[in-house]
Chain A
């Protein structure tokens, strides 16, 4: 019985390894080569690319930007998402409409929303500067640009967090809240001792999704700033894209991709461990 099960799984396994495992191995293989399409150079260089990467300022800068972006945007999204989910979980009139409205930013394609925000952030006729009555060069100043990208990402993906957390909130039995209230717990205590612990597995799932997505961020920032000014918003994925597809250095570009892969792998393992501990 067990054997036949394995046989049925085989086609799916073969397909999966063709489309995921083979490219992963090939990228790793490429990362050990000096391969420049234009100059017809292709030779094995061992870990030279990794040594170069270690000394590459642009890589460290991109890593720093990526970590900054990920930490800030994910925390912001979690806090905002939790607050909005709690609000929407209350019953009030037009609850359905409100829930639908919250979803809109998430439903807009990333490239479209990035273009939209590019105009919102425009110094001269952007609505943001109009509303706050200032002339801030949002995307042109090294300080604001990355934070502007974080803010756009928070606007765009908080709805995703809201949806997942709302689902989590809905499965918490009402009796627990009632019992807590009868025991004389105040709102903060209920949130801290009842809601939060029961929501923990969902929060971890949200964190896995969001951290991995944010760490690999490409399109939103690429469209918004192109990595500028002066690479202050260049993330690892953008750097890898430029090396791979604009300058066609397949060897070093693959090295960068491998590093992104290792980072996201480490992040997933960290979260999955947390999650399995939380389940126990």
Chain B
């Protein structure tokens, strides 16, 4: 008993002694970086290994990664409160694509333009680069990308002799033809609940009709193209009847369920749904195809850009080490590893020609065209206010409370008011 106690005490003392020594040697120049991000998909160990690799390559830096709550609203709130309080508790932050201009305008982010010179910028997809640039300065590096896609049932299209639609009108006629002949099948489902996802959906119709929300710092949301687009969306429900009214409450998952149970011909959703459809036991396994979203006649298709960017807290005490970390995480090799292991879509164009990626994740490799057409939501520090105006107005138009003209006229008035805030 006594011997055992002595041994334990000795061991404890020794460990104190030895760790004490190490800290004395390293303590002075070892930087501890705190990296805040949302939940990483898949096995958390894989991401840990990536960070360990960075630590091995940079022996003077330790990385502590901390996961934020799952809801993006809460993450935004966390950053806003802490950065406004000039907190230096974290160094590297991962940001939704719509926050960068806002945070940059508030002066919360470190200007990292020197990390992305012109030649380096050309390596990335254009959409995310646009999203991280504010007043010609770069405030974050795109980490992984997301964009709206059109999912379709290739078995049904083949049976009835249709090819994937290029225009919205083709989508309507294809869906009307097939749903009239199939039992219990919706034509086209998308996300229409009053939330950020609704804005992502509506913008795809605006853009694919040549419209936009803000141009040269002014609202152009009530343009004839936009009115036509919003009207078309409402008509999908009430006139063409290929979209069930339930979309006005739908977010991503309910639509994914309906399509995944084989109950819809077309669906607009993000790339994440693909892997779920291809799992064993999925009723639509092997029957799903994806393509770029349709457009209005003679216009370009566009999808809304999503994804996450890495930036540096302006108040960070280790900005130089933080730069090394985001540079590492956004470099080709780690992006490739994350793509192969957890399916995060790389922001670097060259990786889509990578042999391993094409072999292991052919689906991701095939998304190149979609990502080239991905457009960021209005890149302005006012975005969070503008979206708060758009969400209820779009919702009002879809549920028939207002006509598209009324909704967009009201949105135009309110956005104009918001853009005057600084004056």
Contact = CB atoms under 8 A, between A and B. Distances in A.
A242 interface: yes
A137 B245 contact: yes
23 contacts: A41-B421, A41-B422, A122-B246, A122-B254, A123-B246, A124-B244, A124-B263, A125-B257, A140-B192, A140-B245, A141-B399, A142-B401, A225-B249, A226-B194, A227-B194, A228-B193, A229-B398, A231-B194, A231-B395, A231-B396, A246-B76, A246-B77, A246-B388
A139 interface: yes
A36 B391 CA distance: 21
Contact of A229 (B77, B244, B395, B421): B395
Given A38-B381, A124-B246, A227 B392 contact: yes
A142 B393 CA distance: 13
Contacts of B247: 140
Nearest to A123: B246
Contacts of B421: 36, 39, 41
Contacts of B369: none
B394 to A, nearest CB: 9
A52 to B, nearest CB: 10
B377 to A, nearest CB: 15
Contacts of A141: 245, 248, 399
A246 B392 contact: no
Nearest to A248: B80
Q: At the interface, is chain B mostly helix, strand, loop or mixed? A: helix
Interface stretch (B9-17, B100-108, B156-164, B170-178): B100-108
A6 to B, nearest CB: 37
Interface in A96-152: 121-125, 137-142
A26 interface: no
B73 A228 contact: no
Nearest to B250: A140
B317 interface: no
A228 B80 contact: no
B402 interface: yes
B87 to A, nearest CB: 14
A245 interface: yes
Interface of B: 73, 76-77, 80, 84, 102, 105-107, 192-195, 244-249, 254, 257-258, 263, 381, 384-385, 388, 391-393, 395-396, 398-399, 401-402, 421-422
A247 B246 contact: no
Contacts of B388: 242-243, 246-247
Choose among B381, B391, B392, B401 the residue with the greatest number of A CB atoms under 10 Å from its CB: B392
A3 interface: no
Interface in A178-222: none
Contacts of A248: 80, 384
A40 interface: yes
B246 A228 contact: no
Q: Give me the 4 closest cross-chain CB pairs, A-B, nearest first.
A: A228-B194, A230-B396, A140-B248, A123-B246
A37 interface: yes
A226 B195 contact: yes
Nearest to A244: B77
B102 A229 contact: no
A171 to B, nearest CB: 44
Nearest to A233: B194
A248 B246 CA distance: 32
A229 B398 CA distance: 9
A160 B194 CA distance: 31
A39 B263 CA distance: 47
B105 A38 contact: yes
B271 to A, nearest CB: 23
Contacts of A36: 421
Contacts, number: 107
Given A229-B396, A245-B77, A248-B384, A123 B245 contact: yes
Nearest to A250: B84
A10 to B, nearest CB: 30
A232 B106 CA distance: 32
Choose among A122, A230, A231 the residue with the greatest number of B CB atoms under 10 Å from its CB: A230
A225 B244 CA distance: 18
B194 A230 contact: yes
Given A39-B421, A229-B401, A140 B105 contact: no
B79 to A, nearest CB: 11
Contacts of B249: 121-123, 137-140, 225, 228-229
Contacts of B194: 225-231
Contacts of A232: 401
Contacts of A242: 388
Choose among B80, B194, B244, B402 the residue with the greatest number of A CB atoms under 10 Å from its CB: B194
Nearest to B76: A246
A11 to B, nearest CB: 28
Contact of A246 (B105, B107, B384, B401): B384
A264 B77 CA distance: 26
A58 B410 CA distance: 12
Contacts of A39: 105-106, 381, 421-422
Contacts of B248: 137, 140-141, 228-229
Interface string A41-76: 100000000000000001000000000000000000
Given A226-B195, A227-B194, A140 B381 contact: no
Contacts of B105: 38-39
A225 B395 CA distance: 12
Nearest to A58: B392
Contact of A230 (B102, B195, B392): B392
Contacts of A247: 384-385, 388
Nearest to B391: A228
A234 B392 CA distance: 10
A246 B383 CA distance: 10
Given A41-B421, A226-B194, A246-B384, 10 more contacts: A41-B422, A124-B246, A137-B245, A140-B246, A141-B245, A228-B193, A228-B194, A228-B392, A229-B395, A229-B401
B149 to A, nearest CB: 22
A160 B246 CA distance: 33
Given A38-B105, A139-B249, A229-B249, A245 B80 contact: yes
